[in-house]
Structure 1
Amino acid sequence: MLKKRLIGVVTIYQGRAVQSIGYCRYLPMGKPEILIENLDRWGADEILIQCIDRSLEQAGPDLALLKRIGALGLSTPLIYAGGIRNAEDAVKVVSLGADRISVDSMLWDSPWHLEKISRELGTQALIVNMPVRVGGNYFYWRNYRAQQEVYLDEEILAKLPFEWASEVMLTDWVHDGVANSFDPRLLEFFPLTKKPLIAFGGLSEYSQLQDVLAKSNVVAAGIGNFLAYKEHAIQQLKRQMIGTPIRPAQYAQEGYEL
């Protein structure tokens, strides 16, 4: 059986790790390297670094940050998101230690670059992130730079080259930073039912994570702010999630069995 993953998410704004609330409020949390190193030690299956201001400022990927992270000697696979404009940017990011990349603005600006990136790095290296919400019987996709959203209908879906990405991350931006509030309808109503999904936004409690990861099309759950509240939060969640087909910790610890 395929083991599912818990992804530790570190949100970075203006060079600092922040607690994100609704993608509009940001509370400082400190140096990104410290949070990332902690997630590596505490047993995250993957670490996602999302630099949320890079695309807004058209600044490109934060290569200096990636160099500093590369010097940490992480053993956990790294996903990078933020400012990636084309295949050249994607290759630079991977050359500096990222195992995979995630893109968001590219879907709005230049979706044809997904194919170019996939041909350079492989489909498994590419994740598409979509900030979304459900309203009534409709599915809405948010452009965070323009602060606007569109109804995700069949016409728009047909234009998006999802075949070049390995997974789609559905971000519940409405409940971002709000504990135990992820909207499960996002997973039920997403039109691409056969595409592997990553759930993110408002995930914090083990019972909630169990329900999300039990869905056949969900391969991973991302947790951001809530992992910074106490040490070893991922290990504690894995202890509680007995019976869920989730990856065990990368290392054995006395008294810790899954």
Structure 2
Amino acid sequence: MLHKRLAGVITVKNGWAVQSVGYGRHLPLGRPEVLAENLDRWGVDEIVLQCIDRAAHGGGPDLPLLQRLSRRGLSTPLLYVGGIRHATDAVAAVQAGAERVGVDALLHDDPQAAAELAGPLGAQAVVAVMPLALDDAGSLAWLDHRSRRQQPLPGALLEVLGGGAFSEALLVDWRHEGRPGGFDRRLPTAWPLPALPLIAFGGLGEPALTREVLGQAGVVCVAVGNMLSYREHAVQQLKHMLAGLPLRAPAYAAADAAVA
């Protein structure tokens, strides 16, 4: 049974896809629609579209971008993250073309409101976005990217996350985001809610580390951003290097099998 996934991440700022390093330095890559079409064609299992400036500006989700992507006829499921303030925003994002939505700032501002998104959407369509790092004492510290302040994971938040309103948590190693080979492999082990599956992101893409993290208990998906944007067939090559894991075959391998 296939129960692991490889997701491609598109980071968007001011309407443009960017290379992101540590959520602090950004270099332009081009139009998000082009990157999404490439990831779709190359056979990722999910596309994560994260618009990193929406929450700070209070503008809500980028619905025009989602609508443009929807018109491209992509066949890959889309997880949208950025600017979700309430259930109305979440429903609008799904209506515009997202299969799932992720919430980050809303978990800081009103965790209960984030959990209520499961009402109109269903828990399977709601993902908790958790930028985390290990502090000097080895405890998880949770980052609010708007203020750049960190805090321990509040007990009230953990209660909400464990209440069944979220299908997965996107665990972001924000310190190593944009640095291939840098993902802190201790983070999934330190995650305190083993019943809530993890998408690991930040500093992944190097095959050996990606294989190790994808094999960790609780990790159902690895998400890779920058390195998939620089060469054609990067997705297929990475999936070949992950051979033996329960992943969907690369797109061209699936096509070859169909012809045969």
Question: In which range does the TM-score fall when normalised by the shorter chain?
Answer: over 0.9
Measure, in 2, the Cα distance between the counterparts of 1:210 and 1:185. 14
Q: Deviations over 1:164-212 (max 9, x none)?
A: 0000011000001111110011011111122100100000111111111
Which residue is 2:205 aligned to?
Answer: 204
1:234 alignment partner, SS class = helix
Which residue is 2:146 aligned to?
Answer: 145
Q: Deviations over 1:78-105 (max 9, x none)?
A: 1111111011111111011111011100
Q: Deviations over 1:201-249 (max 9, x none)?
A: 0001111111111112110000000101211111111111111111223
Which residue is 1:194 aligned to?
Answer: 195
Q: TM-score, normalised by structure 1?
A: 0.94
Structure 1 residues 83-122: aligned runs within 5 Å: 83-122=83-122
Residue 157 and residue 39 in structure 1: after superposition, are their counterparts in 2 closer, same or farther (change >3 A)?
same
Measure, in 2, the Cα distance between the counterparts of 1:159 and 1:80. 21
Residue 46 and residue 96 in structure 1: after superposition, are their counterparts in 2 closer, same or farther (change >3 A)?
same
User: Does the aligned pair in 1 maintain the 2:36–2:47 contact within 8 Å?
Assistant: yes
Identity %: 47
User: Does the aligned pair in 2 maintain the 1:114–1:161 contact within 8 Å?
Assistant: no
Which residue is 2:133 aligned to?
Answer: 133
2:172 alignment partner, SS class = strand
Which residue is 1:245 aligned to?
Answer: 246
2:21 counterpart of 1:21:
yes
Q: TM-score, normalised by structure 2?
A: 0.94
Measure, in 2, the Cα distance between the counterparts of 1:226 and 1:162. 35
The amino acid of 2:3's aligned partner reads K
2:47 counterpart of 1:47:
yes
User: What is the deviation of 1:255?
Assistant: 8.6
Which residue is 2:230 aligned to?
Answer: 229
User: Does the aligned pair in 1 maintain the 2:41–2:251 contact within 8 Å?
Assistant: no
1:129 alignment partner, SS class = strand
User: What is the deviation of 1:41?
Assistant: 0.5
List runs of 5+ in structure 1 lacking aligned partners: none
The amino acid of 2:198's aligned partner reads L
Measure, in 2, the Cα distance between the counterparts of 1:57 and 1:164. 26
Measure, in 2, the Cα distance between the counterparts of 1:214 and 1:31. 33
RMSD between superposed Cα atoms in Å: 1.7
Which residue is 1:61 aligned to?
Answer: 61
1:56 alignment partner, SS class = helix
Measure, in 1, the Cα distance between the counterparts of 2:152 and 2:177. 20
Which residue is 2:70 aligned to?
Answer: 70
Measure, in 2, the Cα distance between the counterparts of 1:115 and 1:79. 17
1:170 alignment partner, SS class = strand
Residue 48 and residue 156 in structure 1: after superposition, are their counterparts in 2 closer, same or farther (change >3 A)?
closer
What is the number of residues matched between the two proteins?
256
Residue 219 and residue 83 in structure 1: after superposition, are their counterparts in 2 closer, same or farther (change >3 A)?
same
User: Does the aligned pair in 1 maintain the 2:141–2:152 contact within 8 Å?
Assistant: yes
User: What is the deviation of 1:115?
Assistant: 3.1
